[in-house]
Amino acid sequence: MGRVYAPGEHYEPSEFPSALAIGDSWFWYPNNNILGTLTRHKLVSADHSRVQNLGYNGALLQDYVGAGRHARTVEHYLSPNFSRGWSEFYISGAGNDVVAYGLALKPNCVGITDPEKCIHEGRMNDLLRSLSTSLGSLIHNIRWAYRKDPDAKHPIFLNGYDYPVPDGRGFAGGKGWLAPAMNQAGVERDVEFRKHVARVVIDQIADDVFKAFHSPANMVIYLDSRGTLPTTPLEYEKYWANEMHPTNLGFKTIIEENWLPTLKKYGIAN
């Protein structure tokens, strides 16, 4: 039976997790998240159905490296007492960083009719550089843990986000993350226009950060979920719980369409 362990949880006898996951709310979202969906899926091998999860809702990618507030926790789980047990790694990060950078929007988008021109080039460059630096450091730290065993190059899977709908829905009826930033910047209120703006942001991160690290030969694999879930009216709410997190159905769809075909190649799924 699959299980996701939180930091500090004691493992059941003979149930040491096979995977170490480090990431944001796509790994932590209550009731429905990508790790819970993965570990419970019938096609996932029993040997790979237990995951140690690190990270916290709201954490930035940079929080897991260097002097970041969760970096010591990551180091702890990469120490020799733990590292010899991991056979794969999952990383999810960037969503909170995007919000912290105000979606890299221009301070004043009033009157802009081209969604791509709402993006501030300097802010976007700063965001992408920060994400790339943090992700590169995290991958390096994982590889460093196995530096004395060059044959132990375990796969590292990078979670990619799908295109969201900035409709203002947040967690448990609260305010969202994308619409408030767009409101503050004076972005055109039309939801199709705003979806296009969000798409530009997601594509920039995917193409300039995640795809840049994608190297199956080096066992770093980007799981690209773009365009998987519907964003059309009357349908998207079945797949999106709010602006940034899928529903159970949404996570299941992403797992089955984007994760499992790749995980099968590494013996993690059947």
- pLDDT < 50 regions, the chain: none
70 within 8 A of 60, measured Cβ to Cβ: no
- The reported pLDDT for the residue numbered 259 is 98
- The reported pLDDT for the residue numbered 151 is 76
Q: Which of 127, 261, 103 is nearest to 186 (CA)?
A: 103
The encoded tokens of residue 132 equal: 């790339």
**Could you tell me the CATH superfamily of domain 3-266?**
SGNH hydrolase (3.40.50.1110)
- The reported pLDDT for the residue numbered 88 is 97
CA distances to 8, 58, 71, 127, 210 from 77, rounded to whole Å, are 10, 21, 10, 27, 23
Q: What is the pLDDT of residues 34-60, one digit of tens each?
A: 999 999 999 999 999 999 999 877 889
- The reported pLDDT for the residue numbered 149 is 86
Q: For the CA atoms of the chain, what is the radius of gyration?
A: 19
**pTM to 2 decimal places:** 0.96
- The reported pLDDT for the residue numbered 31 is 74
CA atoms within 13 A on the CB side of 105: 28
- The reported pLDDT for the residue numbered 54 is 92
- The reported pLDDT for the residue numbered 25 is 87
Q: What is the pLDDT of residues 129-141, one digit of tens each?
A: 999 999 999 999 9
Q: How far apart are alpha carbons 72 and 65 in whole angstroms?
A: 8
- The reported pLDDT for the residue numbered 57 is 77
